Amino acid sequence: MRVLITGGEGQLGVALRDLFSTCGEAASPGRGDLDICDRAAVERWFGGAPPDLVIHAAAWTDVDGCERDPSRAFRVNEKGARTVAEACRRAGARLVLISTDFVFDGETERPYTEGDRPDPISAYGRSKLAGEEAVLGTISSALVVRTAWLYGEGGKGNFVRSILGNAAKGKALRVVADQWGSPSYTRDVAAGIVALVSSAGEGILHMVNGGEASRYDLARAALDLSGGEEVPVEKIRSADLNQPAPRPRRSTLRSTRMEELGLSPLRHWREALEDHIRRSR
């Protein structure tokens, strides 16, 4: 099976490449090798021997950057997704789009399932929802995998790595305690996607580690698991950061579809985080 993973230098892209390379030919170009907004560049990757499967993980995920430049956000996250979907349709390739919990407004006290209506509150969330709609409007059998709060060994950075890095440098840690979500380990999400593409699934599916945490909970757990039990972390409010883009207050995800497709749920986030910390030592 020939697999194309866009956004191959990102943390999920790296995890996907490592897994898919064991079961076929996997290409994972980064942004410098594949501009998803350039139709001709996309078509070149589909020339000759086109992929059988495309995991579209490339996106502009800078939430505040998207708020400052929404036109670029939609160009990358909507137009780029549509361009890739159109190429997949012409080539007959199966398509999986990676999306986000930020398509929800966060104003619920329970986890969001696949049947809940999206209502994004940021330019990033709106552009990603537009990308979902563009993909499913182009290929009705496509898969849209929503995940959240990713961290892992690959890519340039993530929340967990930032917390541990700043603690190692002796920097003061101030972390919001009023944002709740689903911390998710890229290795687990990638393995879930590998299992998913072997199923007959299509449409929207949530794929996150189990349980729920605040940003503060995640920071505290990462420090404790890495031997930083004595490192202080100040609890703050989201409003204290004065960020350009609003964040969902509670965007925890849960899947009702994984069991329908015969897939096992991902393990609890604390167990996954412990595994990540152990691998990173």
Q: Where are the domains of the chain?
A: 2-158+182-209+252-268
> What tokens appear for 193 in the block?
């996607």
Q: What integer pLDDT is reported at residue 104 of this predicted model?
A: 98
Q: What integer pLDDT is reported at residue 154 of this predicted model?
A: 81
Number of Cβ within a 10 Å radius of residue 150: 23
112, 124, 185, 216: the active-site residue: 124
- If you ran DSSP here, which 8-state letter would residue 263 be given? P
> What tokens appear for 18 in the block?
């490592």
Annotated catalytic residue 216: no
Question: How does pLDDT run along the chain (281 residues), one tens digit per residue?
Answer: 899 999 999 999 999 999 998 777 899 998 889 999 999 999 999 988 899 999 999 999 999 999 999 999 999 999 999 999 999 999 999 999 999 999 999 999 999 999 999 999 999 999 999 999 999 999 999 999 999 999 999 878 899 999 999 999 999 999 999 999 999 999 999 999 999 998 988 999 999 999 999 999 999 999 999 999 999 999 999 999 999 999 999 999 999 999 999 999 999 999 999 999 999 88
- Helix 215-225 with 269-280: angle, nearest 10 deg: 40
Task: Assign domain 2-158+182-209+252-268 to its CATH architecture.
Answer: 3-Layer(aba) Sandwich (3.40)
Phi and psi at residue 263, to the nearest 5°: -100, 145
Please, which residues bridge with residue 54 across strands? 4, 95
Q: How far is CA 70 from CA 57, 78, 101, 238, 244, in A?
A: 19, 11, 18, 22, 12
Distance CA 95, CA 83 (A): 12
Q: What integer pLDDT is reported at residue 281 of this predicted model?
A: 83
